[in-house]
């Protein structure tokens, strides 16, 4: 099974919920926080078949599928169950938020359908490279999986019995589950959120551990689900010594990311061989929690105590992990405006690792294993590209149907080795078709960002590696002329890039002559167009994303 069997032992600790070990399908993920829905899968090779087993704690109908954006529209799915007249199973596709339509070509094969002990267990198979226009393309990238189920066999609206989770099926990276319940809390203390659309608030604190430990899991604690947009925990330089809280970006110097969460995300557990170091010689280090509040209705009097739980262990893992901020520099006021009426407008940030040697010697080879992609409301696509000797080696990460309401940290499922001298480019594509004014690159909720928070090992003292073009468009440009938009796009790509690398003491190195290299087209496995995987997405918090977070809060 594609060298999968050695991983079987990793799952022996999973005894809660629906799952029971199946040696023919060694990969497993719970798709919900309450462990009501369990997915197992396995495959022979990347051009063969992939087999699934879905176990759900219900005796009604069950549904599972793939979605371009975490919602119903454009999803490819199967629905089945055991009814009064026996089992039923159909391959379907969804055009919107109503009952999915049955495919003309049934590309999924039912292997078994069992109902016992209050569970429905559905096993089925399909080809990995199915080119049916109504089927979703399964690639070696994280895919948004969706599920739903009913309490009876009447297929109707599922209400809260649904959700979504992003998983890399073909290059899955297994994780262990610890029974260790030790965690540190980095949270706000009942702060008042003012009636502003955008508000950033920061809190400095110590996380007192006298000996070195490893953080192995990051858990969000969300109190105000509708206004908390993202949370970052930074490690501060040694000269930052004062605790306290205040609005952010008032001379801040803490930018070494230790933990990250954004809207739509959930718990993130690191792979079994890495942990984020904390404590020991750094026991007096100050940490800064930053929360971006998106108070869209500008409500007054809202209070919040959201933050992060850092689950840690004294059993140190093989490698120290770090998080590197890459993309377009978020800390510089840029004369870089995205024009209105642009259906696709790309921006670029390039990390030049040759800058590392000015801050660190020697520079080890870095192994990148996970990512959290980040834009604001206009973001539609993000691609992270790896270059060596000026030539693209592949995509480190990509999301062609990015939804800023579903920003999860995901394991890449593979390791990308980045050597000294390599480059990492982040391309973000925006849709401003519905805007009449320019969109600036900035901190505001209606401004834009282009970032990739990359998880890697071994950890080094480089905290960020970003860039921005050396000039920008006119601040007053409001043109929607497509020729002018194309000229602006070409200008922004071809201007010299100001490239920066920062270390944990806020020292930096700079290159004023960076370039954006050509990028290959995103690979697809079928020559025919796949309607199920090519739909654009609106960047609003999807009901499925809200349900996941609410489920999480309910069990805290």
357 token code pair: 């040697």
Which of 527, 541, 307 is CA-nearest to residue 403?
541
Residues 108, 147, 199, 200: which is the catalytic one? Answer: 200
User: 2 catalytic, yes or no?
Assistant: no
Residues 374, 376, 386, 468: which is the catalytic one? Answer: 374
Q: How far is CA 32 from the centre of its chain?
A: 16
Q: Tell me the Ramachandran region of residue 421: left when phi exceeds 0, alpha when psi lies from -120 to 50, beta otherwise.
A: left
Rounded-to-integer distance, Cα 481 and Cα 479, Å = 6
DSSP conformation class of 483: H
Rounded-to-integer distance, Cα 422 and Cα 523, Å = 22
**Three-class SS of 330-389:** CCCCCCCEECCCCCCEEEEEEEEHHHHHHCCCCCCCEEEEEEEEECCCCEEEEEEEEEEC
Rounded-to-integer distance, Cα 537 and Cα 450, Å = 17
Are the C-beta atoms of 523 and 141 separated by less than 8 Å? no
In the sheet that 286-294 helps form, which strands lie side by side, from edge to edge?
A: 244-247, 198-206, 286-294, 228-235, 256-262
Are the C-beta atoms of 56 and 149 separated by less than 8 Å? yes
Which of 324, 240, 312, 231 is CA-nearest to residue 276?
312
CA distances from 169 to 79, 175, 178, 191, 464 (A): 20, 14, 23, 41, 30
Q: Which residues contact 480 (CB under 8 A, 6 or more apart)?
A: 339, 340, 341, 342
Exposure b/e, 150-176, CB count within 10 A at least 16 = b: beebebeebeebbbbbbbbbbebbbbb
Helices and strands counted in the chain (H then E) = 2, 37
User: 200 catalytic, yes or no?
Assistant: yes
Is residue 320 classed as helix, strand or coil in its secondary structure?
strand
Q: Which residues contact 355 (CB under 8 A, 6 or more apart)?
A: 465, 499, 500, 501, 509, 510, 511
Residues marked active site are found at 200, 374
């Amino acid at each position: 099974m594609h060298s999968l069997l050695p991983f079987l032992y990793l799952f022996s600790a999973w005894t809660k919920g629906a799952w029971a070990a199946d040696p023919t399908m060694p990969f497993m993920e719970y798709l919900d926080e309450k462990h009501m829905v369990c997915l197992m899968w396995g495959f022979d090779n990347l051009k063969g078949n992939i087999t699934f087993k879905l176990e759900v704690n219900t005796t009604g109908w069950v549904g599972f599928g793939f979605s371009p954006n975490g919602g119903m529209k454009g999803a490819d799915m199967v629905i089945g169950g055991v009814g009064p007249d026996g089992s039923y199973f159909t391959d379907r596709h969804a055009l919107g938020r109503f009952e999915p339509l049955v495919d003309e070509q049934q590309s999924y094969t039912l292997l078994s359908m069992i109902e016992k002990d209050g569970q429905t267990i559905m096993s089925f198979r399909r080809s990995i490279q199915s080119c049916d226009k109504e089927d979703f393309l399964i690639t070696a990238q994280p895919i948004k999986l969706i599920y739903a189920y009913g309490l009876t066999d009447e297929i109707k609206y599922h209400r809260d019995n649904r959700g979504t989770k992003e998983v890399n099926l073909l290059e899955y990276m297994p994780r262990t589950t610890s029974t260790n319940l030790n965690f540190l809390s980095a949270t706000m203390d009942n702060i008042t959120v003012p009636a502003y659309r955008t508000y950033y608030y920061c809190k400095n604190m110590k996380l007192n551990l006298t000996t070195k430990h490893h953080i192995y899991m990051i858990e969000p604690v969300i109190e105000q689900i509708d206004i908390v947009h993202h949370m970052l925990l930074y490690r501060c330089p040694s000269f930052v010594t004062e605790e306290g809280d205040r609005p952010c970006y008032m001379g801040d110097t803490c930018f070494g990311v230790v933990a990250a969460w954004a809207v739509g995300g959930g718990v993130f557990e690191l792979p079994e061989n890495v942990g984020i170091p904390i404590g020991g010689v750094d026991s007096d280090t100050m940490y800064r929690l930053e929360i971006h509040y998106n108070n869209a209705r500008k409500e007054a009097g809202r209070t919040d105590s959201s933050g992060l739980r850092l689950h840690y262990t004294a059993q140190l893992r093989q490698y120290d992990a770090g998080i590197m901020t890459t993309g377009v520099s978020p800390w510089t006021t840029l004369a870089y405006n995205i024009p209105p009426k642009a259906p696709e407008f790309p921006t670029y940030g390039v990390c030049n690792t040759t800058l590392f040697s000015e801050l660190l010697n020697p520079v080890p080879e870095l192994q990148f294993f996970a990512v959290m992609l980040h834009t604001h409301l206009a973001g539609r696509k993000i691609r992270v590209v790896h270059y060596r000797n000026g030539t693209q080696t592949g995509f480190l990460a990509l999301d062609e149907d990015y939804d800023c309401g579903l920003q999860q940290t995901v394991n890449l499922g593979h390791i990308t080795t980045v050597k000294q001298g390599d480059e990492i480019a982040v391309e973000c594509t925006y849709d401003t078709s519905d805007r009449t004014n320019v969109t600036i690159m900035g901190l505001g909720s209606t401004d834009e960002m282009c970032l990739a928070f990359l998880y890697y090992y071994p950890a080094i003292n480089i905290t960020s590696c970003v860039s921005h073009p050396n000039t920008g468009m006119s601040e007053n440009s409001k043109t929607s002329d497509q020729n002018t938009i194309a000229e602006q796009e070409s200008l922004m790509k071809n201007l010299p890039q100001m490239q920066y690398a920062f270390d944990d003491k806020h020292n930096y190195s700079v290159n004023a002559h960076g370039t954006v290299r050509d990028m290959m087209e995103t690979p697809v496995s079928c020559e025919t167009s796949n309607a199920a995987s090519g739909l654009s997405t609106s960047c609003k918090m999807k009901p499925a994303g809200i349900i996941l977070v609410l489920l999480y809060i309910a069990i805290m």
